[in-house]
């Protein structure tokens, strides 16, 4: 937060600090497990509670991770322009695949979807 010492600047600094404290108590994705999901045989990703970046060369599965989150949490591919059904994401040569997402809760046990 930028501040010039004015009351407005001080208020925005306090607000930013409060927002940071509040973010410590928000739910977030603890774990994403993908089995027979496009390029992944059985892969588990454990993102952190704040900003996460997924980087890699073309075709390495970055968008597949986002697709797994969309399917796992929303059950829909409308957000992304990839595949027409969940079956389009099953790894070639396999008959079934799965996505498991574990979410933290602010004050309690995690939830698996």
- Domain holding 95: CATH number? 3.40.50.300
The whole domain housing 67 covers 27-112
Mean pLDDT of the chain: 81
Kindly tell me the burial class for residue 57, based on how many C-beta atoms sit within 10 Å of its own C-beta (0-12, 13-18, 19 or more): exposed
Tens digit of each residue's pLDDT (9 = 90 or more) over 52-83: 999 999 999 999 999 999 899 987 777 777 77
In a domain, 102, yes or no: yes
**Overall domain count for the chain:** 1
Look at 35 and 89; give whichever has higher pLDDT. 35
In a domain, 21, yes or no: no
In a domain, 8, yes or no: no
CB atoms within 10 A of CB 71: 20
Check if the beta carbon of residue 9 is closer than 8 Å to that of residue 83. Answer: no
Structure tokens, 54: 């997924």
In a domain, 17, yes or no: no
pLDDT value at 12 more than 60: no
């Amino acid at each position: 937060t930028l501040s010039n010492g004015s009351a407005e600047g001080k208020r925005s600094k306090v607000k930013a600090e409060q927002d940071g404290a509040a973010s410590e108590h928000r739910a977030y994705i603890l774990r994403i497990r993908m089995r027979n999901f496009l390029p992944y045989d059985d892969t588990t990703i454990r993102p952190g509670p704040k900003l996460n970046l997924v980087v890699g060369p073309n075709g390495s599965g970055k968008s597949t991770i986002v697709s797994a989150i969309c399917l796992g949490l929303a059950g829909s591919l409308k957000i992304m322009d990839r595949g027409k059904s969940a079956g389009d994401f099953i790894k070639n040569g396999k008959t079934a695949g799965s996505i498991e997402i574990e979410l933290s809760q602010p004050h309690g046990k995690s939830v698996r979807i």
